[in-house]
Amino acid sequence: MRRVLNDPKSRPKPWQRDNPKPKAARTRLTTAQRDAAQARARDAGRRYPNLVDNMWAATHLDAQGHPKDG
């Protein structure tokens, strides 16, 4: 299968990719981001947030839990 650059189906899943940052450079989710990931999981019918919920919160919300601009 030929990989197309912007085709999301051709990219490896998040849990199959190598970590781009060393462990020391990671930042933890803030309480507000954690609560938003939990609410997103609950809306989807899950008891706990999964990796995708946490990734969404880390990339789309700022430290106070507000949507990032841009």
Give domain status of residue 13, yes or no.
no
Give domain status of residue 39, yes or no.
yes
The pTM is what?
Answer: 0.66
Per-residue pLDDT of the chain (70 residues; tens, 9 = 90+): 555 566 777 788 888 888 777 766 678 899 999 999 999 999 999 999 999 999 999 999 998 989 988 6
How many structural domains comprise the chain? 1
Nearest-angstrom CA–CA distance, 45 and 22? 33
pLDDT at 5: 62
Give domain status of residue 8, yes or no.
no
- CB 40, CB 57: distance < 8 Å: yes
